[in-house]
Structure 1
Amino acid sequence: MTASSPVLAIENLTTAFKTPEGWRDVIRNISLTVNAGETVAIVGESGSGKSVTALSTLRLLPPGKARCEGRILLDGKDLLKVSEAEMRAVRGGSIGMIFQEPMTSLNPVFTIGNQIAEALVLHQNLSWKAAEAEALRLMERVRIPAAKSRLNEYPHKFSGGMRQRVMIAMALACRPKLLIADEPTTALDVTIQAEILHLIRELQREENMGVLFITHDMGVVAEVADRTVVMFRGDMIETGPTEAIFTAPKAIYTKSLLASIPRLGTMGEAKAPRRFPEIDPRTGEGLEGREMKPVAAAAKPVLNVANLSVRFDAPNGRVHAVEEVSFDLRPGETLSLVGESGCGKSTTGRAIMRLVNPSAGSILIDGRDVAEAGARELRAIRRTSQMIFQDPFASLNPRIAVGSAIAEPMLSHGLRSKREAKERVAELLEQVGLPADVADRHPHEFSGGQRQRISIARALALEPKLIVADEAVSALDVSVKAQVSNLLLDLQEKHGLAYLFISHDMAVVERMSHRVAVMYLGEIVEIGPRAAIFDNPQHSYTKRLISAVPIPDPSRRGVQRPSLSEEIRSPLRPFDYMPPRRTYREISPGHFVQEDAAVSPERLSA
């Protein structure tokens, strides 16, 4: 297919939603094309209309509550005029879709293998046996460890990153002409992100597939996109070749978007986190953020974790999710946990909050033992420690207005009256970049990034001493990511908050952290001050993580060529497995790397 005959052509698309006041346009006069073998990226703030454009293309918006005007041509056929039966053949067949939130896209009552195989049976006319064999091959191709044994597991048993890989396998199963990827690497760590992007490009070359790529990660845009479309509040404000957008942006908003990008290696010799660049709204120029306060060395830790292990029994073995993890965290300090999805980062955070029970080890918050606490004491501990969850949609009650969800902890702990709580809710919403009048809306009325901001506001409601932030800014576009990250830093400096910051975004980790711990297969393989980890990484896995970070420079596209052949080792072990005793070598003060040396894990908390 030639450039004159695009796979997808969107012409003057306007989509409106029905409201009590009447129809309200949410995207206006959007026009773009995607040619065979071409990748077009749509970027913009959360709520700008990126995902609505994709959902309009697939006609997945609720009938009667949304209407689309204009034309959406797939191989010349207007999708707005075909029957619903024809659209069902298009979805998953001619067009593959990777959704932003995998847990809401996967059916919780069917196994992973069944859901991948179903698409093959419907669109490829394969038998169930052949479809299941192909489903296994796809799971292995997107590097799901122990794929054969996990084929019959259910979505809730997979980590966020693993579920996203399943969604990618499903979308690519029928080798579509067009792939719409809505934040396909949001939940993935940098190494898997690099490999998945490489995999999509590889399949794109094999099948001459067009890709419509929706993302807020400008490093990813630089790496994959041939052309870029910039959206702002429902309007397409700039479009052109990606290199031209990066080197000579015309719109002020595009300039501010690019200025907000956290770039790896910009911290230099800084001893403490540094605010993200602030944007001059008149010029769109980025102003370098100031450095924050260093942590007082003599401060007593607010969190002590010693020899923490978490294991889960499976039918054919035991999952060693977290193994002999030790660290401490002082007031005003940020310790970042980084590593591949499934490495145990989130499980560590959940064990600290006792949302999963530790198998061994101790956890002390403000000197109180979390593992041994009764119901009343645990309630008091949770007054001083809060968690921002990875999936904001799953952690917000869909039946409760977001204002009530934010106020609930304050009312439950008796900290404020209803009137005071309402005032505090308005203040918190504005602090995280949302207008106070959204308090009466429900979670489904917000974009993914907006829901994450609501989750952050709720975690801040009790003014805790410790916050476990599990991918707290992963769903946010770059400008809001900078805003919310700066908010977290300001609150930390003002109130002496301690953050356990769980993230796969290494550029954000570098800027937010005092110390960094690198996890692999449930174990800490390297831990130390931020500068030591980023400037002098010692473990081979740490080096691999840092080298996989996408660079927001289109001229460097293709420099990284990750290998897809390396299998991720599974944390599943035989029931009688005894983990080896790990030792650590001290490279420099506070910088430890796992190897056969004479430093015990207990010293990591020293």
Structure 2
Amino acid sequence: MTTPVLAIENLTVSFRADGQWRPVVQDLSFMVNERETLAVVGESGSGKSVTALSIMRLLPLAQSRVEGRIALDGRDLPPLSEGEMRRVRGNEIAMIFQEPMTSLNPVLTVGFQVAEALIYHRGLARAQAEADALRLFDRVRIPAAKSRFHEYPHRFSGGMRQRVMIAMALACRPRLLIADEPTTALDVTIQAQILELVKMLQEEEGMSVLFITHDMGVVAEIADRVVVMHRGRAVEQGETTRLFTQAQAPYTRALLAAVPRLGSMEGQSRPLRFPVVDTATGESDTPSPTPDTVDPADRPLLEVAGLVTRFDMRSGLLSRVTGRVHAVEDVSFALRKGETLALVGESGCGKSTTGRSILRLVPPSGGRILFEGTDIATLDRRGLVAMRRRMQMIFQDPFASLNPRKRVGAALAEPIVVHGLAGREEARARVAELLRRVGLDPAMAERFPHEFSGGQRQRLCIARALALEPRLIVADEAVSALDVSVKAQVLNLMLDLQAELGLAYLFISHDIAVVERVSHRVAVMYMGEIVEIGPRAAIFGDARHPYTRRLMAAVPVPDPRRGRIRRGLDADEIRSPIRAPDFTPPPRRYTEVSPGHVVQDWGTERERLPA
């Protein structure tokens, strides 16, 4: 029997809290074999990342205790001295972290940082290390690698920064690569590129991979075997296809049931609630469509016509305008009461700027925005404040949008009092009702934001958005950072509130599978423009624009029986929206291919689209 590359036996990891050792990983055992990809899957707090940090010996010594056996090629790692362990890290085990921007030094060029690993571990001279680092950049398909070698991390997109981290991890040809949620914060197309890159390099180098994720679609595409973790323990492990088709543990079945699947809405005319899963039994209900609250005869609640938002770029002693970011260019759509219009596209396409422009959180450069028939561009400060009572926004990061020094009850009551809707005593009663409405205990009003989980904080942000009884809510990536089961709970809450209150949602997201489930209509954005818009069934059943089809093709499907999809490695990034000050966008032509389904003519614009 061959020795596994990595063997974990009875691993228990504890942290000191209030003078006691509290276990966060308990009695965990698994192995990673030669050239194998093992996925460790579970929700936040399940112990996945702590397990990876224990293998690398990166936990704080004073506050952590690691028990059990961790062996690399049969060699026990815990007894090694720190000097010996430093030689193991990078040389024999490499790790890619979830957020590359926090893993790269912002004051050093990316080329210098990769070359530094080669100098330290392989003893190369600076010139030789830089030459080898440049070859690594070419291998991970960084475009124009030679010209970008001496650039700083902030000049790279998220996907390209993750490629730099992969190049650094591969610098010394490690036996084992640990990838800790390397695609969680990335757009679906960039995620597909990174997964393809990892698979390709694994085949070339003969590496073993320990892949940590909470996305079952990613697991189906990349893993040979799976370990499912819940509350610090392995509840199930086995070969990927068997686990997806014959899962035994209730928690595994619950995870699989909560995953939104592209194509699951075929035959459905209205948004569909997500299945509510009991993690104790793994059983789920049969989700029902939401009530039809959209009346096509109503005048649109929101009308956007020819919206343009540009940002000046200034430089030089006199701060002259040397360029403009064309963030939003000639965007038009309408949104009715009780309707959800989804804006989808990659980071940098103008989705969030569109939402912020509608609320005048950023000033539009042109176009008209009518809300309830009123042009918001004509409103003074007082009129805009009054208008925003009926237009609210849910931001992507709930922790950043809550005051960490203010109790959540006070944060929810503040807009009610400021807008004169109630006195302080009555506001407290309304806060209690708001918390009940979003599924939280009213007693939680006395807590601070850091005392809540990510899903609970997002519920608080929804409660705050509802405090002023709005008619329109702009949800900007409101569930993108949440685990799959928490995401399902929050989305069900939003659908229920829409049915109850007749809310209109502008739902901004890059998660295509979620968009299919919650939307009435979909608008696809690329380079600040809407390239395709129409009813959900028309977009997902008959996508016409190449960019729309590209987005859908990149969605990972949680079904390993389809076999490993090899899409081919694409190094394209979304094009830069920066233009010269005197640039005038060319006129666009649109074709209505079916009622309400409009597609931008791309025949003369192929150079703008990624390959």
- What TM-score range do you get, normalising by the shorter chain? 0.7 to 0.9
Q: Does residue 1:465 correspond to 2:464, yes or no?
A: no
Report how far residue 586 of structure 1 moved. 0.6
Report how far residue 244 of structure 1 moved. 1.0
User: Does the 8 Å CA contact 1:6/1:33 hold for their aligned counterparts?
Assistant: yes
User: Could you tell me how far apart the structure 2 residues matched to 1:335 and 1:462 are?
Assistant: 22
Partner of 2:248: 250
User: Does the 8 Å CA contact 1:320/1:571 hold for their aligned counterparts?
Assistant: yes
User: Does the 8 Å CA contact 2:310/2:327 hold for their aligned counterparts?
Assistant: yes
User: Does the 8 Å CA contact 1:47/1:450 hold for their aligned counterparts?
Assistant: no
User: Does the 8 Å CA contact 1:432/1:454 hold for their aligned counterparts?
Assistant: yes
Cα deviation, 1:345-367, whole Å, max 9, x if unaligned, reads 23323333444333333334445
Aligned-pair RMSD on alpha carbons?
3.8
Greater Cα shift, 43-52 or 192-201 = 43-52
Partner of 1:504: 510
Change (3 A) 1:270 1:53: same
Change (3 A) 1:502 1:426: same
Partner of 1:386: 392
User: Could you tell me how far apart the structure 1 residues matched to 2:412 and 2:262 are?
Assistant: 34
Partner of 1:492: 498
Which residue of 348, 354, 363 maps to 1:357? 363
Partner of 1:47: 45
User: Does the 8 Å CA contact 1:46/1:449 hold for their aligned counterparts?
Assistant: no
User: Could you tell me how far apart the structure 2 residues matched to 1:214 and 1:510 are?
Assistant: 26
Partner of 2:220: 222
Identity %: 66
User: Could you tell me how far apart the structure 2 residues matched to 1:109 and 1:413 are?
Assistant: 45
1:307 partner letter:
G
Q: Does residue 1:345 correspond to 2:351, yes or no?
A: yes
Aligned pairs (5 A) from 1:13-412 = 13-20=11-18, 22-88=20-86, 90-91=88-89, 94-102=92-100, 104-105=102-103, 119=117, 122-123=120-121, 168=166, 171-172=169-170, 175-279=173-277, 283-294=281-292, 295-312=294-311, 313=313, 317-367=323-373, 369-370=375-376, 373-392=379-398, 394-396=400-402, 409=415
2:255 partner letter:
L
2:2 partner letter:
S
User: Does the 8 Å CA contact 1:162/1:341 hold for their aligned counterparts?
Assistant: no
Report how far residue 189 of structure 1 moved. 2.7
**Secondary structure of the residue that 1:475 maps to in structure 2?**
coil
Cα deviation, 1:75-105, whole Å, max 9, x if unaligned, reads 4444434444555555555443333345554
Report how far residue 594 of structure 1 moved. 0.1
User: Does the 8 Å CA contact 2:196/2:566 hold for their aligned counterparts?
Assistant: no
Greater Cα shift, 480-489 or 563-572 = 563-572
1:531 partner letter:
A
TM superposition score normalised by structure 2: 0.84
Greater Cα shift, 376-385 or 572-581 = 376-385
**Secondary structure of the residue that 2:523 maps to in structure 1?**
strand
Report how far residue 339 of structure 1 moved. 1.8
User: Could you tell me how far apart the structure 2 residues matched to 1:368 and 1:173 are?
Assistant: 59
User: Could you tell me how far apart the structure 2 residues matched to 1:13 and 1:561 are?
Assistant: 37
Q: Does residue 1:559 correspond to 2:565, yes or no?
A: yes
Report how far residue 248 of structure 1 moved. 0.8
User: Could you tell me how far apart the structure 2 residues matched to 1:447 and 1:213 are?
Assistant: 24
Q: Does residue 1:585 correspond to 2:584, yes or no?
A: no
TM superposition score normalised by structure 1: 0.85
User: Could you tell me how far apart the structure 2 residues matched to 1:79 and 1:19 are?
Assistant: 26
Change (3 A) 1:171 1:440: farther
Greater Cα shift, 436-445 or 276-285 = 436-445
1:303 partner letter:
L
2:498 partner letter:
Q
User: Could you tell me how far apart the structure 2 residues matched to 1:417 and 1:144 are?
Assistant: 58
User: Could you tell me how far apart the structure 2 residues matched to 1:524 and 1:94 are?
Assistant: 47
Greater Cα shift, 59-68 or 532-541 = 59-68
Report how far residue 261 of structure 1 moved. 1.9
Change (3 A) 1:37 1:63: same
User: Does the 8 Å CA contact 1:364/1:370 hold for their aligned counterparts?
Assistant: yes
Report how far residue 581 of structure 1 moved. 0.9
**Secondary structure of the residue that 1:320 maps to in structure 2?**
strand
Report how far residue 524 of structure 1 moved. 0.9
Report how far residue 177 of structure 1 moved. 3.2
Report how far residue 123 of structure 1 moved. 4.7
User: Does the 8 Å CA contact 1:161/1:342 hold for their aligned counterparts?
Assistant: no
User: Could you tell me how far apart the structure 1 residues matched to 2:113 and 2:401 are?
Assistant: 24
User: Could you tell me how far apart the structure 1 residues matched to 2:358 and 2:156 are?
Assistant: 20
**Secondary structure of the residue that 2:298 maps to in structure 1?**
coil
2:290 partner letter:
M
User: Does the 8 Å CA contact 1:402/1:441 hold for their aligned counterparts?
Assistant: yes
**Secondary structure of the residue that 2:389 maps to in structure 1?**
helix
Cα deviation, 1:219-257, whole Å, max 9, x if unaligned, reads 111111111111112211101111111111111111122
Change (3 A) 1:148 1:26: same
Report how far residue 26 of structure 1 moved. 1.8
User: Could you tell me how far apart the structure 2 residues matched to 1:482 and 1:34 are?
Assistant: 32
User: Does the 8 Å CA contact 2:16/2:22 hold for their aligned counterparts?
Assistant: yes
Greater Cα shift, 10-19 or 421-430 = 421-430
Greater Cα shift, 310-319 or 356-365 = 310-319
Greater Cα shift, 439-448 or 67-76 = 439-448
Report how far residue 595 of structure 1 moved. 1.0
User: Could you tell me how far apart the structure 2 residues matched to 1:148 and 1:416 are?
Assistant: 62
Greater Cα shift, 8-17 or 530-539 = 8-17
Partner of 2:543: 537
1:233 partner letter:
R
Report how far residue 496 of structure 1 moved. 1.7
User: Does the 8 Å CA contact 1:9/1:32 hold for their aligned counterparts?
Assistant: yes
Greater Cα shift, 215-224 or 387-396 = 387-396
Greater Cα shift, 248-257 or 334-343 = 334-343
Gaps of 5+ in 1: 598-606
